[in-house]
Amino acid sequence: MYDSKAYSAASAISPLAPTTISRREPAASDVQIEILYCGICHSDLHQVRDEWNAVMPAVYPVVPGHEIVGRVTKAGSAVTGFRPGDLAAVGCLVDSDGTCQQCLDGFEQFCPNATFTYNAPDKHTGGVTYGGYSDSIVVDERFVLRVPANLDLAGVAPLLCAGITTYSPLRHWGVSAGMKVGVVGLGGLGHMGVKFAHAFGAHVVVLSTSPGKRDDARRLGADEVVISTDAAEMEKHAGSFDFILDTVAVVHDVNAYVQLLKRDGTLTLVGAPVDPHAVSAFGLLFGRKSIAGSLIGGIAETQEMLDFCGAHGITADVEVIPIQKVNEAYERLLKSDVKYRFSIDMASLKEG
Ligand code: NAP
Ligand code: ZN
């Protein structure tokens, strides 16, 4: 074991604070990565504040962070794909059983024995996994991603969660030219959804509660912006969407978006409030509409997404912050004040 600097939360009401954690020495199949940037996902806030207690209770101290990019410092003897000095990235998963049907089909995220990057039982240490708000991490090579060399690293980090979580459902539901696609919520996930849907050729409409984000939405690739609190504006789009991706982190009226779908349209939820949404059956019946969900993406698809980003020059729009500003960043997330992902410059961790 070796010491690694990190930021952790001691309880649901504690701010994140500096700490030292123990990491395992890399075994034969492991890659050790010096973390350069880590994105701040709203899921980090849900977990740190134990908002997901009913589904995934937090085990404190929590070291969050699952949008990790850095440089390889050591590679175990059996590692074939990485060498010290290579760029490398890690997302929401660090292990799975590799043998179940989900894993065989490339859906490691649905493996019943998947290990999430933080706050999950760690078979190596007997404790819990610690995430990327840290200067170093050790991960089995199967869960380490290759990073295209042409991209800005601070903007690459968020691709590992916000990127794949939006890329995967847009691909699964076949978003392409000729389709009208809505993205609800212009935050970390939403802004990546806009970039991908635009890159796939769709007509993209941002559905936002924030009138101040209109210009940014267009710059990011939206063809239209609808302020979702304006009933008249919403009504103009009734029955017109093929697909809507809903990234909102709190319980809200999903029926307002179902009524925007065409016949056979789908509203896919990726936002993850723990309390249930109220769904009107009638809203679905008339038009044979669907509400669906989607969880990150498998490892092969995550690599495909990174390669797509490399080929198309896509990264997240980030506000780079030192880790000392992480608690302030969480408060801003709660106010929908993020443009459009915080990316922590991990060099700041050296300062304490
Ligand atoms: P975020 O950056 O905070 O963005 C959420 C956006 O939702 C806000 O910027 C805001 O956009 C909108 N919003 C906020 N409050 C709202 C309200 N009361 N009504 C309507 N819209 C509201 O969060 P994020 O990091 O993108 O994460 C979003 C959610 O996805 C979280 O619940 C997170 O846990 C979840 N998540 C799920 C997965 C998965 O695999 N399914 C992966 C990662 C994250 P506007 O200002 O434009 O309205
Ligand atoms: Zn995330």
Domain with CATH 3.40.50.720 in the chain: 163-293
Number of other residues whose CB lies within 10 A of the CB of residue 265: 23
Neighbours of ion ligand 2 (CB under 5 A): 41, 43, 161
CB of 213 shorter than 6 A to ligand 1:
yes
pLDDT of residue 351: 83
Output the six-digit token pair for 289. 């509409």
Which string of DSSP letters, residue by residue, matches 288-307?
T-EEEE--S--HHHHHHHHH
Give how far Cα 229 sits from Cα of 141, 207, 211, 256, 267, Å: 46, 9, 10, 10, 18
CATH superfamily membership of 163-293:
NAD(P)-binding Rossmann-like Domain (3.40.50.720)
Number of other residues whose CB lies within 10 A of the CB of residue 262: 16
C-alpha 64 to ligand 2 mean position (Å): 10
First to last CA, the chain: 21
Number of other residues whose CB lies within 10 A of the CB of residue 285: 9
CB of 302 shorter than 6 A to ligand 1:
no
User: Greatest CA span in the chain, whole angstroms?
Assistant: 63
Q: Which of 117, 172, 270 to mutate to test the pocket of ligand 1 (most atoms within 8 A of CB)?
A: 270
C-alpha 165 to ligand 2 mean position (Å): 8
Strand, coil or helix: 101: helix
CB of 46 shorter than 6 A to ligand 1:
yes
Residue of 181, 134, 180, 186 whose CA lies nearest to 317: 186
Strand, coil or helix: 332: helix
Q: Which of 41, 167, 194 to mutate to test the pocket of ligand 1 (most atoms within 8 A of CB)?
A: 41
Which string of DSSP letters, residue by residue, matches 208-260?
ES-GGGHHHHHHHT-SEEEETT-HHHHHTTTT-EEEEEE--SS---THHHHTT
Domain with CATH 3.90.180.10 in the chain: 2-161+297-351
C-alpha 46 to ligand 2 mean position (Å): 10
Between CA 200 and CA 171 the distance in angstroms is 9
Tens of pLDDT, residues 23-81: 999 999 999 999 999 999 999 999 999 999 999 999 999 999 999 999 999 999 999 99
CB of 91 shorter than 6 A to ligand 1:
no
CB 249 within 8 A of CB 223: no
Atom from ligand 1 closest to the CA of residue 294? 41
pLDDT tens, residue order, the chain (352 aa): 999 999 999 999 999 999 999 999 999 999 999 999 999 999 999 999 999 999 999 999 999 999 999 999 999 999 999 999 999 999 999 999 999 999 999 999 999 999 999 999 999 999 999 999 999 999 999 999 999 999 999 999 999 999 999 999 999 999 999 999 999 999 999 999 999 999 999 999 999 999 999 999 999 999 999 999 999 999 999 999 999 999 999 999 999 999 999 999 999 999 999 999 999 999 999 999 999 999 999 999 999 999 999 999 999 999 999 999 999 999 999 999 999 999 999 999 998 6
> Is the CATH number of domain 2-161+297-351 3.10.520.10?
no
